[in-house]
């Protein structure tokens, strides 16, 4: 049972990371066509929003991830000492 949970969690985490990495590609895909209809305009606006959001998300995750690694490392050192 623990093995199944570990496999599902690993696939979930890697899937989430892949989605975050491909976020800007999705934005480029939505922006590439010209806006001919209202639906195309919405897709274009969503693509521009994704392209604006992706760098902010990556910067935030880099700071939060670094802090999390220090906290985990500090917790391990605290347990050892």
Q: What does the pLDDT look like over 43-53, one tens digit per residue?
A: 999 999 999 99
Domain that holds residue 26: 2-80
CA atoms within 13 A on the CB side of 61: 10
Residue 76 has pLDDT above 90, yes or no: no
- Is pLDDT at 55 greater than 80 in this prediction? yes
Count structural domains, the chain: 1
State residue 16's pLDDT score. Answer: 94
Q: Which of 54, 5, 7, 13 is nearest to 31 (CA)?
A: 54
């Amino acid at each position: 049972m623990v093995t199944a949970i570990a496999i599902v969690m690993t696939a979930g985490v890697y899937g989430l990371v892949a989605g975050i990495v491909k976020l800007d590609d999705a934005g480029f895909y939505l922006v590439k066509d010209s806006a001919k209809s209202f639906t195309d305009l919405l897709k274009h606006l969503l693509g521009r929003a994704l392209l604006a959001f992706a760098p902010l998300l990556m910067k935030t995750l880099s700071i939060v991830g670094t802090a999390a690694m220090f906290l985990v490392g500090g917790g391990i050192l605290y347990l050892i000492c």
